[in-house]
Structure 1
Amino acid sequence: MVDAEDRELKARKERERDELYSLDISGVEWHSAPGTEEHEERVEIAYLPEGAVAMRSSLDPDTVLRYTEAEWRAFVLGARDGEFDLEPAPEDGVARAE
């Protein structure tokens, strides 16, 4: 029974992902953190239908990641909870996630 439920969940998530990536987002409005300048490197997000979100780097605007509402909510809550906080940079200058 669990195996069938797992397969059904996986199939549903794949359908959601396919639908999300089939959306035409050419006309979306991209947002970045307040206080960032147009020429600065920054993360940009766009709000999509049904609570989904697209995210890209200002340095590579053609590479866009898309997240369902549930995925985005989990990320935001995790970030608020400190799951993605970086440790102080070691001597090699590369910060690492905890």
Structure 2
Amino acid sequence: MDIDDLTKWIIAVDRRVLVMKTLHEHGLIKASEIAEQTGRSLQNISRALRELEEYGLIECLTPEKHTWKRYILTDNGLQVFEKLRKSHFID
């Protein structure tokens, strides 16, 4: 998918937008912290993280861990985030 298609895919489901925004604001962060800050369930956030990781928008820096996994935006994720911000989908 190109940047435009990824942007459309992200805005189709609000949990993806919330995760992208939170990752951009905090950099390295755990799923439980994203859930706490967004008021969403851990299951909901974990699903969004899996989806975003499958498309190469985020990366888990501690994949060997079963808990306390930490995530960041990839370079591609940062490009998509900037597109979301310029399109006013993210404040």
Shorter-chain TM range is: under 0.3
Structure 1 length normalisation: TM-score?
Answer: 0.26
Question: Greater helix percent: which structure?
Answer: 2
Structure holding more strand per residue: 1
Decide which structure has the larger Cα Rg and report it: 1
Using structure 2 for the length normalisation, give the TM-score: 0.27
Q: Which has the higher contact order (CA 8 A, sep 6+)?
A: 2
